[in-house]
Chains A and B, each alone.
Chain A
Amino acid sequence: MERKAKKKLSENILDKFTIDFLRSQVLKNAYGNDDTMIAKLDPRILIVWYLFLGLVPWFVSDIYFLLGCFLLVVATTMLARVAGLVLFLFGIGVFSQTGYLFIVTLLFGGDASAIVPLLTLTLKVACCSLASITVFSGLDPDRLSNGLMWFGCPERLSFSISYAYRILPMLMEEFQNILLSFRLRGNPPASQTFWGKVKYLAYQVKTIMHAFYPLMLNTAKRSRTTVEALEIKGYRLAATDKRVKKMRLASLKVTWDDLMFLAVSFLWISLSILASTIF
């Protein structure tokens, strides 16, 4: 039973790590969680919240405070239902930042006492990363761009963000199809031996690089229509029109939920500061 499960797991991992999987994960991350509590929050509140949790931990080394922040962002990440791949990348990221240092320390005769300073660093990195993940992945891109606009970011930036999310699925599909063309007509090296596997991997990487050229040209071809359509839809006109900006931002509203979220966060941070003064 267990072996079967194990086999299935390894098969699953190999099976799943395809462009298709990547695509579905990216899409899931971008659009799949618009009904979570985090996604419903006012983007301005969330941006302020992020500015605090993304910056302050860098300047504080108190372990209780950092631990408090960490637990808070873990909770919000869970609330935001972030896609698995992003969390996986986060794990790798944190390890490559600090985890390996611990192993190196042990290898060169250090002992467990190295944990504490490393833990502080790890917590700082983890805290900021998770806060970013919560905001940028949990929040609907469109709301995020509205929030940024409220804080005075130029219209062009916020349009780019939401347009990027609009064409993302198209772009990924196009990319996938071009890769399929390579697969249909290419001839990769055999991958039985170890050396073969290395060559196979190199071939795959090369293919992905080659696929960019047709991808760019196809996208450029498509965007001709998009540019004309934007002109018809008055995009250029609106960028300079103050009334339009006001209309767009009218949809932002701070509700009780937002205040509750801020209050709970504030309370929790205060508690962790209290804890650090007591112990």
Chain B
Amino acid sequence: MNIIEVQNLTYSYPAAKEPVLKNLSLEIEKGDFLAIVGNNGCGKSTLCKTLNGLIPHFITGDFEGKVTVDGLDTRENDVGTLACRAGYVYQDFENQIVRPTVLDDASYACMNYAMEDYRERGQEALSLCGLEGREDDYIWQLSGGQTHLLALAGAVSLRPEILILDEPIAQLDPSHADRIYEVLRKLNEEYGKTIIVIEHHTEYIADYCRHVVLMKDGQVRWKLPAREALSRVDELRDCNIFPPQVTAAARSLQGKGVRLPDGPLPTTVEEGRKYFDGLVWDGACPACAQAKGDEQGGSQSASPSAVEFRDVSMAFRSVKGEDRVVFDGLNLKVERGEKIALIGSNGAGKSTLMKLMVGLLKPQAGEVLLDGESIRRKKTESLSRKISLVFQNPEEMFIKDSIEADIAFAMQARGVENWKERTEQLLEQFRLTELRDRDGRLLSGGQMRRASLAIGIALNPGILLLDEPTANLDMATRREIMEALEAMKEVTETVMIATHDMQLVCEWAKRIVVLYQGRVVADGDRDEIFGREEVARLVGIRPPEIFTMGRALDERAYCYTVDEFTAAFRR
């Protein structure tokens, strides 16, 4: 039985010339766990908003065609009726929470729809989402993952048959992401809810989803069972979606003429184990040797470290009770010319560490040294030629009304002589010349990132710190950011990136620092970090899937990228 039927839907936003959805038709079965994939701007979110009636009731525009949800025509029923059938969790979920305390927010919709048992419904939704015991907490006491669960609980409390989630795990570390998906699986399997996720983490699709819809240019290309869908590696790449690494590796080996079983490609490590059975690891292959050779290049000069933390302690005042200790006696050295990835779960102190380095925060005890000098008595402003920080949220970097002015701001403030030419050059370098007069906030996700990078390196800092530079980006945009990083190599010697993106870590970083509860629990190259399983387990980080795949086939194989994998395994 179909719970959702979309027939010949064409929709354009008010005042837009082009329709976002073009003659789109789609059927979704009751009880399905469905992923919608597609490149940025292909109309995924718009489609989902037609399912809960926000379009056309709240957001008007040209609407043609018919959408039926749980037997109701969306044009003939109001948002309230539809909200009880299809719950929606936004990508920027924290803005969806409107009440100060947890239980209050979870039961708010039920109260508004005058359901007498609103408290019980809220309570029930909270326990379904694993938030029991947090009922009376204020929402700002929750972590990012818990806040997402609360947004989900707010939707679940109305007991809808359908739940729609827009990029549920974009900002979360793997262990929080797993938790969200486990909750979704429970809702799907035990409570028979139909789950629809917009998702570009194909590893999660492979593990949890049953069907995949690929959208392109406002249309549904196809709807297929997950494994078959993810096997279409080339089509996914065309739409800027990373296929699971295991699948990509199988496809690449096929292309090389390696004899592999017929039938669908593997999408998970489990499937890969069977599929790749019989391949042997060749430890002497040139790719493996080269990867090893690269790591030896670290400079060991006698000059002072670029940054050094000496017994740094840092705590934040909390509203109630004890202060929250982030660091207690942290020691860390960053040498000149290093490419460091800083990893750890949400709340491990990554952002705080970076803010300490640029002097935005002062440690309560200990010293932070920049080029051998303590920065305790220095003003942040005087450090900015040496070190620069690009925030996680690019919006917070935009303080002027055009990106051109934003890029020029720091140089003008310091009276850099050729600031005009330099701005021009940066706009050119990051392909922003056309957008120069636009407000940064109104750009697309990828453009915003590029602009924030341009702002960050305007003063030619020797050390660059990037906080989650690839979060929420599709493949094309991510590649752009990587290219930009490459292009900046001559100027910025030392780069540190805080990230959850393990593929980025493995492809780019020469040294990996793992933070856990305010301590450095591991520090070394990727073999040292990912080779030690106890570290991964303790901290909740996860190596890239291809690494796990490689080691599942041969304990000695340390393959971090698909290319390394396909070079090292042969029949």
Give residues in A with beta carbon < 8 Å to B.
20-21, 24, 27-28, 31-32, 141-142, 162-163, 165-166, 169-170, 174, 177-178, 180-188, 210-211, 213-214, 217-218, 221-226, 228-235, 237-238, 241, 243-244, 247-248
Contacts and interface: CB of A to CB of B under 8 A. Distances in A.
Interface string B87-129: 0101010111111110010001101111010100000000000
A154 B116 CA distance: 22
Given A27-B319, A238-B111, A244-B112, A226 B96 contact: yes
B96 A218 contact: no
Nearest to A21: B317
Contacts of A244: 111-112, 114
Contacts of A225: 90, 92, 95-96
B277 to A, nearest CB: 48
Given A177-B393, A233-B108, A234-B80, A241 B114 contact: yes
Contact of A177 (B94, B108, B391): B391
User: 3 closest pairs, A vs B, by CB?
Assistant: A234-B112, A238-B112, A185-B410
Given A24-B317, A32-B320, A211-B399, A170 B90 contact: no
Contacts of A231: 54, 58, 79
B98 A226 contact: yes
B98 A187 contact: no
Given A232-B52, A232-B88, A233-B154, A184 B100 contact: no
Contacts of A32: 319-320
A221 B395 CA distance: 10
Interface stretch (B26-34, B210-218, B267-275, B380-388): B380-388
Secondary structure of the A side of the interface? helix
B441 A218 contact: yes
B268 to A, nearest CB: 33
Contacts of B358: 184
A213 B98 contact: no
A229 B398 contact: no
A183 B118 CA distance: 47
Contacts of B58: 228, 231
B362 to A, nearest CB: 8
B319 A31 contact: yes
Contacts of A182: 399
Interface in B425-474: 439, 441, 455, 458-459
A183 B319 contact: no
Given A225-B95, A233-B112, A237-B112, A217 B441 contact: yes
Contacts of A180: 355, 360, 396
A210 B100 contact: no
A218 B360 contact: no
Nearest to B154: A233
B370 interface: no
Contact of A233 (B83, B441, B459): B83
15 contacts: A28-B319, A166-B100, A174-B396, A177-B396, A184-B358, A184-B380, A214-B396, A214-B399, A225-B92, A225-B96, A229-B97, A232-B54, A233-B112, A235-B112, A241-B112
A229 B92 CA distance: 11
By size class, the interface of chain B is 35 or more
A181 B390 CA distance: 9
Contacts of A166: 97-100, 139
A185 B113 contact: no
A141 B79 CA distance: 29
A169 B139 CA distance: 10
B80 A237 contact: yes
A24 B54 CA distance: 37
Contact of B399 (A28, A178, A248): A178
Contacts of A214: 395-396, 398-399
Nearest to B100: A166
B138 interface: yes
A156 to B, nearest CB: 14
Interface in B50-67: 52, 54, 58-59
A234 B97 contact: no
A185 B413 contact: yes
A162 B379 CA distance: 38
Nearest to B413: A187
B138 A31 contact: yes
Contact of A229 (B95, B360, B396): B95
A165 B118 contact: no
B414 interface: yes
B79 A181 contact: no
Contacts of B114: 238, 241, 243-244, 247
A186 B112 contact: no
Contacts of B441: 217-218, 221
A194 to B, nearest CB: 18
Nearest to A29: B319
B390 to A, nearest CB: 10
Given A181-B391, A226-B95, A229-B96, 7 more contacts: A27-B140, A141-B100, A142-B99, A186-B409, A234-B109, A237-B112, A243-B114
Contacts of B391: 177, 181
B80 A247 contact: no
B536 to A, nearest CB: 31
B165 interface: no
B397 interface: yes
B401 interface: yes
Contacts of B98: 163, 166, 226, 229-230, 233, 235
Contacts of B381: 183-184, 186-188
Interface string B534-565: 00000000000000000000000000000000
Nearest to A35: B320
Contacts of A237: 80, 112-113
Given A222-B95, A237-B112, A229 B90 contact: yes
A248 B88 CA distance: 25
Contacts of A229: 90, 95-98
B101 A247 contact: no
A222 B97 CA distance: 11
A142 B104 contact: yes
B389 interface: yes
Nearest to B412: A187
Given A187-B413, A235-B112, A181 B397 contact: yes
A24 B319 CA distance: 6
A31 to B, nearest CB: 5
A178 B99 CA distance: 25
Contacts of A241: 112, 114
B125 to A, nearest CB: 13
Nearest to A238: B112
A232 B98 CA distance: 12
Contacts of A218: 395-396, 441
A185 B409 contact: yes
A213 B401 contact: yes
B100 A142 contact: yes
Taking each of A182, A228, A243, which has the highest tally of chain B beta carbons within 10 Å of its own beta carbon? A228
Contact of A247 (B111, B393, B395, B439): B111
Interface string B68-94: 000000000001100100001010101
A241 B118 CA distance: 15
Contacts of A186: 381, 409-410, 413
B100 A162 contact: yes
Nearest to A230: B98
